[in-house]
Chain A
Amino acid sequence: QKEVEQDPGPLSVPEGAIVSLNCTYSNSAFQYFMWYRQYSRKGPELLMYTYSSGNKEDGRFTAQVDKSSKYISLFIRDSQPSDSATYLCAMSGMNRDDKIIFGKGTRLHILP
């Protein structure tokens, strides 16, 4: 079982819809959970991060962590064509020396 699993997609949704992106993981030592957005031919950019369980909201984006289920989600409300990108989940332990483990990314297309 891989440490982090993420459906590669592609996921196509109409503009204005709510998007749900998800990852599962197996290592219970993970404490920090991150979402990166990567546009074509660009580097990944940090979108949101959360510590331990719970929700975090930033504008149209909400990150959710359920440590009991080892499941994290990113919700995008009122999706826009500019949200079309690859979204990577990532996670790490408490120590900054811990490696960051990335999911393989989900390709998202928002249809105008």
Chain B
Amino acid sequence: DAGITQSPRHKVTETGTPVTLRCHQTENHRYMYWYRQDPGHGLRLIHYSYGVKDTDKGEVSDGYSVSRSKTEDFLLTLESATSSQTSVYFCAIRRPMNTEAFFGQGTRLTVV
């Protein structure tokens, strides 16, 4: 167990509404990531963070923003949700002595 909690686990929202997903870790690691997983595309990196207020874009960042005001929390915001953002979202961390990523259980988001 990597001590990662994602909330909510499931959400249905309407097109055009803002949505925020939360990733909380209990181990205070610097490196945190947001991925989305879609059939045929696998895991794609949305945004990542190397510490408080240190964030950057991944390969599919359009329509998403992130914030990291505390080490333990990494928030992903969809400013105005679209149907193309229907997906399963995973948060991941990397520990200081490891290259591997450890994942949360995911948030299943449906935009209708």
* Residues of A71-112 whose CB lies within 8 A of B: 88, 90, 92, 96-97, 99-100, 102-105
Smallest CB-CB separation from A95: which chain B residue? Answer: B99
On chain B, the number of residues with a Cβ less than 8 Å from chain A's Cβ atoms is 20
Q: A88-B43, A102-B43 are in contact. Are A46 and B102 (CB under 8 A)?
A: yes
Q: Could you tell me the distance in whole angstroms from the C-beta of B87 to the nearest C-beta in chain A?
A: 14
Q: Which of B13-21, B60-68, B70-78, B103-111 contacts A (4 or more CB under 8 A)?
A: B103-111
* A43 partner, pick from B50, B90, B94, beta carbons under 8 A: B90
Q: How many A-B residue pairs have CB under 8 A?
A: 45
| A interface residues, tally (CB under 8 Å) | 22
Bound together, the chains give a CA A8 to CA B105 distance in angstroms of: 22
Q: Which residues of A contact B (CB under 8 A)?
A: 8, 32, 34, 36, 41-46, 49, 88, 90, 92, 96-97, 99-100, 102-105
